[in-house]
């Protein structure tokens, strides 16, 4: 037989492709480091040599606890290319969740930014014994035992280290999704999945009439690298060989400085981060000018999108979740939509978007029948794509639910428009099922939030003997206090307009000082339901 | 176990992706047909139903003999999606080659354009018995037995036909490379290979600073679809959902009309086709304006590239071969190169190019050692990529040579520049090995061709008792006749400049009326060597 080389879809080729294209582009850190792509690749090789020198078991798990740094990007490549699994640890987890996830993942090595070491030191006695520690950054070990210094470790490694040939189905990354119910669940991805996600992004951003991402762009991530590989964009940036900037711990003023200094053109974040950047920029209307920005994580309010566009930001929504690698859809506009006035564009840019290549999306009834694509009929979003987590790690029951019927269940409720634009209207668990009908908690919140007596609001379902569930509005009132009659009258206007069924008006309104938030900054409706269910 | 869907890289998803993105874009034929993407997809489904109705064996081979038509694009999808193999028959083969390839491929069905039926009728008795015939286009069966009419066949098929689920390693396409020695050799590709080639093209064209291919482009192929799937571009065009135009039989005036009528912006061809189009356009300097054009198949002369650029064509070279699916490199310029004057750009645009994503290229000695990347040291180009033919069909010996050492041997001689730009200098078999040194036949031809006494020229190696081989120049002289002394003097100038070693000047020059050509229009050096070897 001929020695045909069956080319695997592995991450080393993403790195090689970037190396071949990068030219003079560099990878910068907020700490002032600046390296060419060949220097970056040499550090990845040293990193691989250092791991090989540890004599780890095949498929060893390397936990990483860090901000968005160049070292994290090095780990994105070096760890999977070594045949190990990169466990990206969420630095916003509670101490209990930290213990649970590190022990559940069975981490063999922890690479820890010294500034974050106290998080681990506080729970060190509860963590599995025998883990090797590697420290990044400046300072002391924050109460942790001594370990290896990352830079010393790399310096001792061979920059010409040859990585092993690996099959494309090698496990590459692992992290935990906390959700709002139950224990954290481990989602994991193979090298093939990461490569195909990268190619699909390259295809869609390459051929986009706006919001494109190409070799002249300068990239800076504003989502944590522990959160679904910073949405996979660092892999794309590296394959394209573009200039990259890693901002470290998020500080609005520092980030604004980096955007300006490096001429950053492409980023992505949650709405809260955008809001903080705009606040920091204040009267400087040009601080964000020319930025292309994907918004995800939670719904993008039209007012925020419009404000960003007025500052010259090319803003659009992306949709996905931890389980989906993450990107499923992007709200990139068509040339026809781009020709419309800004106020019309905004209504499209905040939608959930259209599928990227090789994503199959259906909006279905509980019986898995497709709902009409009429922009009105809601159903659950179920998906297939080449980069979805195969299951939850060591959790067969939740995996069965996730993949019921051979489609990944997102738990999101959406309508599909005739032109293929998807619009998420709710989380399945946030929908209020009342008298056999669905009422959207998000829609109710959107109707209540603009009222002058409301600073913030969350609507949750509470059990009801007669109707199954009823909506309850939890309001952070503005200075005048909670005015239930005014809010009911506000909602009645929507009933009169036909936006809301009559039974959608809550009987109960409760005041609260602050809405509880989850570790990733979303409103924690689980807590609200528990508190107000009685 | 959860019913995780292991998403295969199959062509149905290329089609689905295009459908989701096409909007109002259409697929046009030179015969005046014009169909939306949903109409195209319905015809693909009908095609699949028609094939299913034939009760073919799994992996059946469907031979297709046609010009570049919308029906061919339908076959690109319907045949592989049905689990059959599409054998794209080269309509320029000799009768003997036609018989050999159809019998070797074991075609079960032949789909034949009636205008090309006489080619098959002439050898019908020598072809394997029992093949079913399907006829495309107008006219009679040209001497072939009666068969099914393609349009009737499709009309009877179910437009909601559901294709079978297939593994990504399903064989999809097959065709024959004739080369210049021996019998035609069958190269074949799986669905996975075609999909990954499409994604790599999407990534590179999407992020190109010029010569980009995106959703606003209008595509027309000017290379035959039987030749390596028209370089794979129809798959890319379909995945992007762009407007496509299929020109049918190549006629320069008709093609120019189609370019104008449809506002075509992206095409690809061999240099000869470009020359014919420019000749046809004559004084109309705007006929080709705004076209992005990949040139491949044979070297792009700088003069031709410059002439095309002067007419507003964004022209650049692509490199690959039948065995490589085909694209390996593209001579797309960097933003820095694009900023240079046109006459400098030309020297880069005619080079072989830089690797596209996931192509590993080495330039090696016969001992498989890498030559220095100095733009001077020549070696053979060997490659790996996810879309190279696994072997020659039923030809173990040639397959061994092709994949010797686990790298695909292109048989091309090249130098690699320090900036990653590859420059093919010769075919391995066209290099003249004289006295232990290599002399490039292409370089000699380039030095001789501009001389006023030369209309055309080919340099081949002839055996030599003392030196092993010696160069021989076969010249088509212009009206003054062959002037050997003048040509030797011309070459001596290059020796004096250091462009050519002293022993590179041929002793023998022979005159010829016309250079013999292969079925794909390349100079047939095999014939020249046979004729002048004595």
pLDDT tens track for A461-481: 998 888 888 999 999 999 888
The 3-state secondary structure of A112-162 reads EEHHHHHHHHCCHHHCCCCCEEEEECCCCCCCCCCCEEHHHHHHCCCCCCC
Partners of residue A7 in chain B, C-beta under 8 Å: 358, 384-388
Protein fold of A431-532 = GMP Synthetase; Chain A, domain 3 (3.30.300)
- Mean pLDDT confidence for A197-224: 93
Stretch 179-238 of chain A: residues touching chain B, C-beta under 8 Å: 196, 199-200, 202-203, 205-209, 212-216
Residues A320-324 have a mean pLDDT of 96
Residue A1 pLDDT greater than 60, yes or no: no
Could you give the CA distance from residue A280 to residue A294 in angstroms, rounded to a whole number?
19
The per-residue pLDDT for B207 is 78
Residues A198/A199/A202/A207 CA torsion (nearest 10 deg) = -150
The candidate with the shortest Cα–Cα distance to B416, out of B459, B483, B360, B474, is B360
A177 among known catalytic residues: yes
CA–CA distance, A195 with B408 (Å, rounded to integer) = 23
Distance between CA atoms of residues A476 and A179, nearest Å: 23
| Contact (CB, 8 A) for B68 and B60 | no
Domain boundaries, chain B: 11-269, 355-427, 431-532
- Residue A259 φ/ψ, nearest 5 degrees: -60, -45
Percent of chain A having pLDDT more than 70? Answer: 99
pLDDT at B90: 95
For residues A157-173, average pLDDT: 97
The burial class, CB within 10 Å (0-12 / 13-18 / 19+), for A323 is: buried
Domain B355-427, CATH among 3.40.30.10, 2.30.38.10, 3.30.70.260, 3.40.50.300: 2.30.38.10
Q: Report CB contact under 8 Å: B5, A407.
A: yes
ipTM topping 0.85: yes
What's the pLDDT tens digit per position in A15-29? Answer: 999 999 999 999 999
Q: What is the pLDDT of residue B443?
A: 85
Mean pLDDT of all residues in A438-450: 88
Give contacts of B 275-304 with A, CB under 8 A.
Answer: none
Pure H helices in A207-321: 228-231, 233-240, 252-262, 271-281, 302-310
The Cα of A114 is separated from the nearest Cα of chain B by a number of Å equal to: 37
* DSSP annotation of B184: -
Using an 8 Å CB-CB cutoff, list chain A residues near B332: none
Any idea which residues of B carry the catalytic annotation? 177, 323, 433, 438
For domain A11-268, say whether CATH 3.40.50.12780 is its number: yes
- A498 pLDDT band (50/70/90 cuts)? confident
Residue-level pLDDT at A432 = 86
Q: What is the pLDDT of residue B181?
A: 61
Contact B187, B395 (CB under 8 A): no
Flag residues of chain B having pLDDT under 70.
Answer: 1-2, 179-181, 520, 534
Q: 3.40.50.1980, 2.30.38.10, 3.30.70.20, 3.10.129.10: which CATH number matches A354-427? A: 2.30.38.10
**Is the model's pLDDT at A519 over the cut of 90?**
no
A positions 386-425 inside 8 Å of B (CB): 386-388, 390-391, 396, 399-400, 402-408, 419-420
- Please provide the average confidence, as pLDDT, over all residues in chain A: 94
Residue B392 near residue B104 (C-beta atoms within 8 A) = no
Q: What is the structure's pLDDT at A433?
A: 81
Best A21, A196, A206, A419 residue to mutate vs chain B (most B CBs within 10 Å)? A206
A467 among known catalytic residues:
no
Q: What is the average pLDDT across A493-501? A: 86
pLDDT at position B1 is 53
Please state the rounded mean pLDDT for residues A69-84.
98
CATH number at B11-269: 3.40.50.12780
State the DSSP code for A427: E
């Amino acid at each position: 037989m001929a020695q045909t080389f069956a080319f695997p879809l592995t991450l080393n080729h993403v790195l090689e492709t970037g190396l071949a294209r990068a030219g003079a582009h560099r990878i910068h850190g907020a700490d002032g480091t600046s390296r060419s792509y060949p220097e970056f690749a040499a550090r990845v090789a040293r990193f691989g040599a250092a791991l090989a020198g540890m004599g780890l078991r095949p498929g060893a798990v390397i936990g990483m606890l860090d901000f968005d740094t160049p070292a994290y990007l090095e780990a994105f490549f070096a760890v999977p290319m070594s045949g190990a699994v990169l466990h990206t640890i969420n630095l916003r987890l509670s101490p209990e969740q930290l213990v649970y996830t590190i022990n559940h993942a069975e981490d063999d090595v922890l690479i820890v930014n010294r500034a974050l070491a106290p998080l681990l030191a506080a729970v060190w006695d509860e963590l599995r014994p025998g883990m090797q520690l590697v420290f990044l950054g400046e300072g002391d070990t924050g109460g942790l035992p001594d370990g290896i210094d990352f830079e010393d470790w790399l310096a001792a490694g061979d920059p010409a280290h040859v990585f092993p040939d690996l099959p494309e189905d090698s496990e590459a990354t692992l992290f935990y999704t906390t959700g709002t119910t139950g224990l954290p669940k481990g989602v994991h991805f193979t090298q093939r999945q990461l490569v195909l996600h990268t190619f699909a992004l390259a295809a869609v951003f390459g051929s986009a009439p706006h919001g494109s991402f190409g070799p002249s762009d300068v990239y800076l991530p504003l989502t944590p690298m522990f959160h679904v590989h910073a949405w996979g964009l660092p892999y794309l940036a590296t394959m394209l060989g573009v200039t990259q900037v890693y901002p470290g711990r998020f500080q609005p003023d520092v980030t604004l400085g980096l955007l300006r200094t490096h001429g950053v053109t492409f980023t992505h974040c949650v709405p809260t981060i955008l809001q903080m950047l705009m606040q920091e920029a204040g009267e400087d209307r040009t601080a964000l000018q020319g930025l292309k920005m994907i918004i995800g994580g939670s719904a993008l309010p039209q007012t925020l999108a419009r404000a960003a566009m007025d500052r010259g930001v090319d803003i659009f929504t992306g949709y996905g979740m931890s389980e989906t690698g993450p990107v499923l859809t992007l709200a990139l506009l068509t040339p026809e939509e781009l020709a419309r006035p800004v106020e019309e564009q905004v209504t499209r840019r905040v939608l959930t978007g259209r599928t990227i290549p090789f994503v199959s999306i259906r909006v279905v009834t509980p019986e898995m029948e497709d709902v009409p694509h009429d922009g009105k009929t809601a159903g659950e979003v179920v998906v297939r794509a080449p980069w979805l987590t195969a299951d939850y790690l060591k959790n067969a029951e939740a995996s069965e639910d996730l993949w019921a019927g051979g489609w990944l269940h997102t738990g999101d409720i959406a309508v599909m428009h005739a032109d293929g634009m998807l619009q998420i209207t709710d989380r399945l668990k946030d929908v209020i099922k009342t008298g056999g009908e669905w009422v959207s908690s998000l829609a109710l919140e959107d109707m209540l939030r603009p009222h002058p007596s409301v600073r913030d609001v969350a609507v949750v379902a509470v059990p009801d003997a007669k109707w199954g569930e009823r909506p309850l509005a939890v309001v952070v009132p503005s200075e005048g206090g909670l005015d239930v009659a005014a809010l009911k009258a506000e909602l009645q206007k929507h009933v009169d307009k036909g936006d809301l069924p009559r039974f959608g008006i809550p009987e109960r309104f409760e005041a609260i000082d602050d809405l509880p938030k989850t570790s990733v900054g979303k409103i924690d409706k689980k807590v609200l339901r528990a508190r107000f269910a009685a």
